[in-house]
Amino acid sequence: MLFDFIIVESCPKIISRSEWRAQQPNCTYHLSTPVTYAVIHHTAGSPCSTRLSCISQVKSIQKYHMTHNRWCDIGYSFLIGGDGNIYEGAGWDNRGTHTANYNIEPSMAAQNAAKSLIGCARSKNKLQSDYVLKGHRDTKTTLCPGDKLYRIIQSWPNYKA
Ligand SMILES: [Zn+2]
Report how far ligand 1's centroid is from the alpha carbon of 51 (Å): 23
Least confident of 6-20, 64-78, 91-105, 139-153: 91-105
CATH number of the domain where residue 50 is located = 3.40.80.10
**Maximum pairwise Cα distance, the chain:** 60
The model's pLDDT over 24-48, given as tens digits with 9 standing for 90+, comes to 999 988 888 998 889 898 887 888 9
Q: How far apart are CA 145 and CA 152, in angstroms?
A: 10
- What range defines the domain where residue 82 resides? 29-153
123 CA distance to ligand 1 centroid (A)?
25
Q: Is residue 51 part of a domain?
A: yes
User: Given CA atoms 113, 119, 120, 122 in this order, what sign does their dihedral have?
Assistant: positive
Q: Rounded to an integer, what distance in angstroms lies between the CA atom of residue 160 and that of residue 151?
A: 12
CB 136 within 8 A of CB 75: no
In a domain, 4, yes or no: no
Asked if residue 158 is part of any domain, the answer here is no
Q: In what order do the strands lie in the sheet with 14-15?
A: 14-15, 86-88, 78-80
CA of 137 to the centre of ligand 1 (A): 7
Number of domain units in the chain: 1
pLDDT at 66 over 70: yes
Cis ω on the peptide bond leading into residue 25 (within 30° of 0)? no
Model confidence, pTM: 0.82
Q: Quick one: pLDDT at residue 81?
A: 95
State mean pLDDT over 120-135: 93
Which residues have C-beta within 8 Å of that of residue 101, sequence separation ≥ 6?
A: 42, 44, 142, 143, 144, 145, 146
Using the mean position of ligand 1's atoms as its centre, give its distance from the Cα of residue 45 in Å: 13
Query: 67-72 — which CB contacts under 8 Å span 24+ positions?
Result: 69/97, 69/99, 71/97, 72/25, 72/26, 72/27, 72/28, 72/29, 72/97
Domain contains 16: no
CA of 125 to the centre of ligand 1 (A): 24
Is pLDDT of 101 > 50? no
Residue 89: inside a domain = yes
Does 120 fall in a domain?
yes
* Cα 3 to ligand 1 centre (Å): 44
